[in-house]
Structure 1
């Protein structure tokens, strides 16, 4: 692994300027570059060139997706990015269609991905406290962070990417502990890269 694409999925709002997500991106890039990795950052504020983004996905050995979770999912700007870039990638850059064939139209769905050997890592920020997950008495009914991120994991699986463990910063608006989050993030990056 030598090339890392870092996608910052943050969408600016007056109450959420994106400082934490930007800090996590900068921390990851600094740590990775110090280890000899080549990195490229994409933000949702850029004018997205679809062909360039497809080339970056092919260039990357791993993709780090950094984003807040808004209303139980990714930001609308990253959803737009997926709709434009990932749909264009279905013509062979990211996958060969959905993996099915005319001779077996009901079998093999999701097996057309062409990015085998490449990895991805989800890193998210949430307003929800850590205790809200994996606890049947709390809001998420015992579900994990990765259960919440299931659609995103399936998107990356569709391209045949392999998951690295997810990282999450919890309770970032009401009970933040940024210093500890950054220390844990540094450990996470150093462990998996």
Structure 2
């Protein structure tokens, strides 16, 4: 049994009310509990205590981030959470940037203290999957993980390792909520059954 921290980055803004991300977050909570894992959660938009969140991260074997793609990245509340909580965790989540005075240009990003911990992104986008994987489309074939390189690197800076990303596409133009939930169940079972 693993300890998993679910981080819900749903945010009502403009035409979005954050319902799909909350639905996926709640679904993950049920699936992971059914798999026998211990699960704690944070609803980021409802507020949080920095020190409590550092404790949750330290106690977790894996973090699962639920968020929408807004203007080519994470909602601002997710970035704010990371800025505040990761910074508060200095000395516990990370010790330094990894460099030394004897080799100031080597090993940047190697000062994390969370080796052995994992993280996963669960994302919702109105963009079709082809926008990420087709070299002739908007993201030039870099894939969803290429679009989220900065967030992957933030976790790597802490010493964490990525689990496979989950993405729901066409969430406004062609929403298929039941299919998303079915696909997410399959993804979570594949990733976390033997975790």
Bucket of the pairwise TM-score, normalised by the shorter protein: over 0.9
1:22 deviates by 0.8
Q: Which moved more, 1:8-17 or 1:48-57?
A: 8-17
**Residue 113 (structure 1) shift:** 0.8
Q: Structure 1 residue 46: deviation in Å? A: 2.3
**How many Å separate the matches in 1 of 2:72 and 2:14?**
19
In structure 1, the partner of 2:111 is 112
**1:48 and 2:57 aligned:** no
Task: Report what 1:171 is aligned to.
Answer: 170
Q: Which residue of 2 aligns with 1:7?
A: 7
SS at match of 2:65: strand
Residues 63 and 121 in structure 1, CA contact (< 8 A), matched pair in contact too: yes
For 1:10-89, what aligned pairs fall within 5 Å after superposition?
A: 10-89=10-89
Q: Normalising to structure 2: TM-score of the pair?
A: 0.95
Task: Give, in whole Å, the separation in 1 of the partners of 2:33 and 2:178.
Answer: 21
Cα separation, 2, equivalents of 1:133 and 1:55: 35
Q: Please report the RMSD computed on the Cα atoms of aligned residues, expressed in angstroms.
A: 1.1
SS at structure 2 position matched to 1:30? helix
User: Which residue of the partner structure matches residue 140 of structure 1?
Assistant: 139
What SS class does the counterpart of residue 72 from structure 1 fall into? Answer: coil
Task: Using the TM superposition, give the Cα deviation of residue 163 of structure 1 relative to its aligned residue in structure 2, in angstroms.
Answer: 0.7
Task: Report Cα offsets for 1:29-73 as digits up to 9, x if no partner.
Answer: 111111221111111222221110100010000000110010001
Q: TM-score, normalised by structure 1?
A: 0.96
How many pairs are equivalent?
A: 192
